[in-house]
Amino acid sequence: MSDSVRRSDSRAAPDEAAILHADLDAFYASVEQRDDPRLRGRPVVVSGGVILAASYEAKARGVRTAMSGTQARRLCPDLVVAEPRFEAYVTASRAVFDIFRDTTPLVEGISIDEAFLDVGGLRRLVGTPSAIAAALRARVAREVGLNITVGVARTKFLAKVASGVAKPDGLLVVSPGHELSFLHPLPVERLWGVGAVTAGKLHAVGLSTVGDVADAGESMLVSLLGRGAGHHLHRLAHNRDPRPVVVGRRRGSIGSQRALGRARRSADEIDTIAVGLVDRVTRRMRAAHRVGRTVVVRFRFDDYTRATRSRTLAEATAQTADVLTAVRLLLAAAMPMIGERGLTLLGLSVGNLDGDNAVQLELPFDGQPGLGLDLALDDVRTKFGTAAVTRAVLLHRDEGMSVPMLPD
Mind telling me the catalytic residues?
114
Q: Phi/psi at 199 (nearest 5 deg)?
A: -60, -40
- Report d(CA 112, CA 380) in Å as an integer: 28
Parallel/antiparallel/unpaired status of strands 171-173 and 148-153? parallel
- Report d(CA 163, CA 160) in Å as an integer: 5
- Report d(CA 200, CA 184) in Å as an integer: 18
**Cis amide bond preceding 364, omega within 30:** yes
- Helices in 84-217 by DSSP H: which ranges? 86-103, 129-143, 156-166, 179-183, 196-204, 210-216
Contact 5, 249 (CB under 8 A): yes
- Report d(CA 141, CA 152) in Å as an integer: 18
Contact 68, 74 (CB under 8 A): no
Parallel/antiparallel/unpaired status of strands 246-247 and 343-351? unpaired
Burial class of residue 358 in the structure, from the number of CB atoms within 10 Å of its CB (0-12 exposed, 13-18 middle, 19+ buried): exposed
Contact 191, 239 (CB under 8 A): no
Angle between helices 320-341 and 267-287 (to 10 degrees): 140
**Cis amide bond preceding 168, omega within 30:** yes
Contact 146, 96 (CB under 8 A): yes
Helix (H, G, I), strand (E, B) or coil at 107: strand
